[in-house]
Amino acid sequence: MAGGEFDLIRRWFARPAPAGVLGVGDDCALLPPARGALAVSTDLLLEGRHFFADVDPEALGHKALAVNLSDLAAMGAAPTAFVLGLALPAADDAWLEGFSRGLFALADAHGCALVGGDTTRSAGGVAISITVFGELPPEQALKRAGARVGDDIWLSGQLGAADVALRLLRGEPGVAAPAQRDALLAATRDALERPQPRVALGLALRGVAHAAIDISDGLLQDLGHILAASGCGARLRVDELPVAPALADVPPALRRRAALGGGDVYELCFTAPPARRDLVLAAAAGTGVPVARVGVIEAAPGLRAVDDAGAPVSDLPGGFDHFAERP
């Protein structure tokens, strides 16, 4: 970005680096070597694809980092630092003030320092690319491939609210009676715009869970990634899914679709052997995050969804895939 690039970085993104770190301002950041393995993850957020142009910039700053911290959480890694790539159509101080406030509030809450980045003028909308670094003992990583036959399947938090908020913001009909739409949006919007990455739970599940993933593309799709990587199948009890209470009046078919297929959830789906149920519950209690046991890993490949009576549930929704063919 011409001229103002360095002022912009200094004003909004340069902060004192933690001890032992060379942060914003040189050609590279310098970080001490990770204790254990270095965990690295990156996410790209594009205006019009991942967020609306008029979204509250403070919420966007929060979410841009939250989705990256969620990947560390799903691996059981402790966050250390991140870099920020930013493409902006203009240097809008009000927008930058809100964005950096949301970003740094979450960064500070997780002790994750911004140590560098790149800033450029965009020919189109806003684009945000964050790469986050963390560390963990590699033998305790919560890999997708770790699920074993007989493991319980667990979920943190609640499902469905982000999907419903997105449908409401898009003006989709049939989600709520017209008089209820505003209240339903108010009750679901934070789930979409301010997800809370489950970093503490991910850390507490080290040595307890066999496998984990964060639900960014919908429960069915993301659980499917664990099954594919682990070479097994699963039985999922759909009536025991922890659906957000705000969805009580949403039509049942839509509620189920939101819970099973809705993305942008950033809760953890993880597996652990039944002998460790007490340890899972202790990890949940110790981090203040509710967990629910919703299924079991089986040897036969594929995902079998069953209702309360054990009857198969068909007509399952797909998850989100940017390159999927759409009818």
Interacting residue ranges for Mg ion, rule: CB under 5 A: 118
Q: Per-residue x/- marks for ligand ADP, 75-114, CB under 6 A? A: ---------x-x---------------------------x
Using CB under 6 A, pick the residue from 119, 156, 158, 230 that binds ligand ADP.
Answer: 119
Please report whether residue 133 would count as binding ligand ADP according to CB under 6 A: no
Q: Binding site for substrate: which residues?
A: 50, 264, 320
**Pairing assessment for the beta strands 211-214 and 127-136 based on DSSP bridges:** unpaired
In angstroms, rounded to a whole number, what is the distance separating the alpha carbons of residues 106 and 128?
16
State the DSSP code for 283.
H
Please report whether residue 244 would count as binding ligand ADP according to CB under 6 A: no
Please report whether residue 26 would count as binding ligand ADP according to CB under 6 A: yes
Q: Binding site for ATP: which residues?
A: 117-118, 144, 216
Q: Per-residue x/- marks for ligand ADP, 61-80, CB under 6 A? A: --------------------
In angstroms, rounded to a whole number, what is the distance separating the alpha carbons of residues 164 and 167?
5
Q: Binding site: which residues?
A: 27, 41-43, 50, 71, 117-118, 144, 214, 216-217, 264, 320
Query: Which two tokens mark 53?
Result: 């142009």
Strands (E), the chain: 37-46, 78-88, 113-121, 127-136, 152-156, 211-214, 233-237, 268-272, 291-298, 302-306
Residue closer to ligand ADP by CB (options 31, 215) is: 31
Helices (H), 34-92: 57-75
Using CB under 6 A, pick the residue from 18, 36, 89, 117 that binds ligand ADP.
Answer: 117
> Cβ of residue 50: shortest distance to Mg ion, in angstroms?
23
Instruction: Please check whether residue 227 is in contact with residue 304, taking contact to mean a CB–CB distance below 8 angstroms.
Output: no
